[in-house]
Amino acid sequence: MNCNCSRFYYSPEYAGGRVFGLLRSEKGMTILEVLVTSLIIVFTLMSIYIGVVYAEKTVLQNYRDRAATLLASGELEKIYFDFSTVYNGDPNRIPNRYSKDVVIDLLPKNKKLQGRLMMDKTFQNEFVSGSMIRAFIVNVTIEWKEPTSKMAKRSIVLREDFYAR
């Protein structure tokens, strides 16, 4: 009886499938496989780095936008408080426009990111149920220049409508 015992021979190709057999092969890797693997690793690391840098810049920009929004909102609250208590509801006593410098963020080396807060007041007539109501509109704008770029000028504008009593 002639037995073909070669089919029972243990080889790496049959142990765990063909892929693992190739990994266990002792022939080594070709230069093409090394280059492709290194390119994949380089592109992966570059993608991670670009993602982290972009996320950091976006977080910083959102923080400054939020700080400017809070400054403008605080200025509107101050104007409302003055309008309702100090000026007894008289809109003519509120200045038509003014501006001042505000600090938006603290930068490294004890520097400050300064912005310009500008308030502008205009009057408007509205008709409600057949009667005219005089309202005044306050726009608070904060502008600043981003220190990381040469041309990026950012601004936040908040608007509030006030009605005389």
Predicted TM-score (pTM) of the model is: 0.70
Q: Supply angle C-alpha 63, 145, 141, rounded to 5.
A: 75
Q: Where are the beta strands (DSSP E) in the chain?
A: 97-107, 111-128, 131-145, 153-163
Instruction: Render pLDDT for 107-133 as a digit per residue (tens, 0 to 9).
Output: 999 999 999 999 999 988 888 888 888
Report how far residue 155's alpha carbon sits from residue 103's, in angstroms, rounded to the nearest whole number.
Answer: 14
Which residues, at least 6 apart from 114, have a Cβ–Cβ distance to it below 8 Å? 101, 102, 103, 104, 144
What is the structure's pLDDT at 19? 53
Q: Does residue 162 have a pLDDT over 90?
A: no
Q: Distance between the two ends of the chain, CA-based, in angstroms?
A: 115
